[in-house]
Amino acid sequence: MSHTKTTLDDLPEALVAENHPGFSFVWIVPLVALIVGIVLIYREYASLGPSISIVFNSAEGIEPNKTEIRYRDVAIGKVQSVEFSKDLSQVVISARLKKGMDALLSENTRFWVVRPRIGATGASGISTLFSGVYIAVDPGREGGYTVQFTGLEEPPKILSDARGTLFKLKAERLGSITMGSPVYHRQIQVGEVTGYRLAESGDHVDVDVFINAPHDKLVRKTTRFWNVSGVGVELSPKGVDVRMESLVSLLVGGVAFDTPRSLEADLPAEEGSVFQLYASKKKSEERSGQLKLPYVLYFDDSVRGLTVGAAVEFRGIPVGEVLDITLGKREDDQPMHITVLIALEPDRVPFSEDMRLPGEADLDEERLRKLFQETLDRLVARGLRARLITGNMLTGQLVVDMDMEPEAAAASIDYSGKYPVLPTAPNSLSNITNSLVTLLGKLKRLPLDEMGEHLLKISEGMDRLVNDPGLQQGAETLGRTLRELNAFMETLSARAPGIMDELASLSNDAQQMFEQAEKTLLVLEKSASDQGSLGGELVKTMRELNAAARAVRGVAEYLERHPEALLQGKVR
């Protein structure tokens, strides 16, 4: 085998063409491919919507490039990635929405994960058992544009496009009310509870309720809300009254409302209005105010029967309640008194014409407080006093009654302590007790021993009188007399018709006799007159008697001067 040595001279030499043809058609294909690629990339980029990020506490069920974002159950985007936040406390979900979805994004937009949920109010998201979870969106109301959001852990109860009105309730305790608890009007569900929280002051619970349209027009300024959770049992003289709004309210609680008929202004309630949530329908029927002002009352009387929660009344109208009852020490050497803390509600009964009436436009709280205080000062100066009276005769329960005492001593409200002190007056029972004590003192000063001995003697005398045989005989005689009188009356009753006829006949005869006597008297009157015969003779006789009387008088005078004439005769 032989090897041939190759040299550079043996290699072929390239020929260089002097006339170059220019652009080659070979480049057309890659250029077209490049242009098509750029167009496709542009179209793909132009069809993309905004990119957003959503923060959740957990990414349970969420998968990149699979989990959809839906609005009204229509897919408008898809999750691209799921990552942890910097502090690893949350997960950040990046998603891409379709073009034109920018209008849904604002500061009020809400996102939440729709997954199967079963609760006391029902089940939701059952379809996701087969299709997988998805992220729902609620556009919310208008706001500034943003792409950074914090997702909700629970679905919102009220969507932004829901028609209705949101109201706020104030309750002393939440009870069985939960998120989604129904709101009833006349046992028909017209809304639901959308949230609850403890107030910043810690003295009540704020509950948000949403009333669907058009039922939200039924809520007026005088509307009363009450809790219908569970079963209400009330014992009354009519028997046992058991109330239950519905089976759902028994399980998850509920709220009911109604607008009572009253003299108050019936104006529609505005959105966000605050109402008191009462414990029962019976409590809601009692008037109650929002502003409560504390006052202290001092009583020297017994408060047996007065309990916390007892009513404070002004001339029979409730204006507050009792908050606390304690035993207080007095500054002087007098015995300890009872301290009663009450709360007055100015807007339950307007003491002044300047103060608002229920249902009218609300006054500022400070203005209402000032007006009430000024009015209360004037009333106390005119004799307003608080006293204890019996509110229930059967149970002996006491209430605090506030009324005018025109004869009360001058007094004023004491503002020196923590709470203002209102003047009080003794109750009626104390007045009666004091009167009885005074009466017993006067009775004690009476000579009861002497009076007793005197009464004993009187009793002995009456005993002798009663046991006297003569009295018994007199009683027997009286009995016989009464029996005879009774027999006489019976006889008279039997003969009464005949006697009445005889009396009638006698009456007629008497009438005829009176008429005849009247005629006789007339005749006598005519005869006795000066012109009558009898009258003339009578006048003549009277004249002769008068002359005879003068003659006798003359003889008597002569005999008086000459008594001897009776023996000697008349001297010539």
The answer as to whether 387 is a domain residue is yes
Residue 529 has what pLDDT?
A: 62
Domain that holds residue 57: 44-150
The answer as to whether 442 is a domain residue is no
Last residue of a domain, one of 91, 118, 150: 150
Q: What is the mean pLDDT of each run of 10 residues along the chain (572 residues)?
A: 56 60 68 82 72 90 90 89 90 89 86 78 66 87 84 84 90 84 90 89 88 91 84 52 58 83 73 87 68 85 83 84 80 70 76 44 68 87 86 78 84 87 77 63 72 77 73 77 80 73 75 77 67 66 76 74 68 56
Contact 208, 159 (CB under 8 A): no
The answer as to whether 366 is a domain residue is yes
Identify whether residues 255 and 301 lie together within a single domain: no
Residue 361 has what pLDDT?
A: 43
> What is the DSSP secondary-structure string of 322-380?
EEEEEEE--SSSSPPEEEEEEEE-TTTS--STTSPPTTSPPPPHHHHHHHHHHHHHHHH
The answer as to whether 530 is a domain residue is no
The answer as to whether 339 is a domain residue is yes
Identify whether residues 266 and 207 lie together within a single domain: yes
Identify whether residues 62 and 88 lie together within a single domain: yes
Buried b (16+ CB within 10 A) or exposed e, 144-164: eeeeebebeeebebbeeeeeb
The answer as to whether 385 is a domain residue is yes
Contact 261, 224 (CB under 8 A): no
Q: Is the pTM of this model over 0.75?
A: no
The structural domain count of the chain equals: 3
**Token match 């004869």: residue?**
407
The answer as to whether 445 is a domain residue is no
Identify whether residues 253 and 302 lie together within a single domain: no
Identify whether residues 328 and 259 lie together within a single domain: no
Can you tell me the distance from the alpha carbon of 87 to that of 68, in angstroms, rounded to the nearest whole number?
26
Residue 561 has what pLDDT?
A: 77
Residue 354 has what pLDDT?
A: 44
Contact 143, 160 (CB under 8 A): no
Identify whether residues 90 and 199 lie together within a single domain: no
Identify whether residues 100 and 222 lie together within a single domain: no
Identify whether residues 191 and 264 lie together within a single domain: yes
Residue 209 has what pLDDT?
A: 93
The answer as to whether 314 is a domain residue is yes
Residue 286 has what pLDDT?
A: 67
Last residue of a domain, one of 380, 412, 435: 435
Can you tell me the distance from the alpha carbon of 560 to that of 237, in angstroms, rounded to the nearest whole number?
116
Residue 288 has what pLDDT?
A: 56
Identify whether residues 211 and 240 lie together within a single domain: yes
Identify whether residues 67 and 115 lie together within a single domain: yes
Residue 137 has what pLDDT?
A: 92
Q: How large is the angle between the packed helices 469-527 and 533-561, nearest 10 degrees?
A: 100
Can you tell me the distance from the alpha carbon of 466 to that of 460, in angstroms, rounded to the nearest whole number?
10
Identify whether residues 135 and 170 lie together within a single domain: no
Radius of gyration of the chain (CA): 59
Last residue of a domain, one of 284, 314, 346: 284
Identify whether residues 299 and 387 lie together within a single domain: yes
Residues forming beta bridges with residue 424, ordered by sequence position: 386
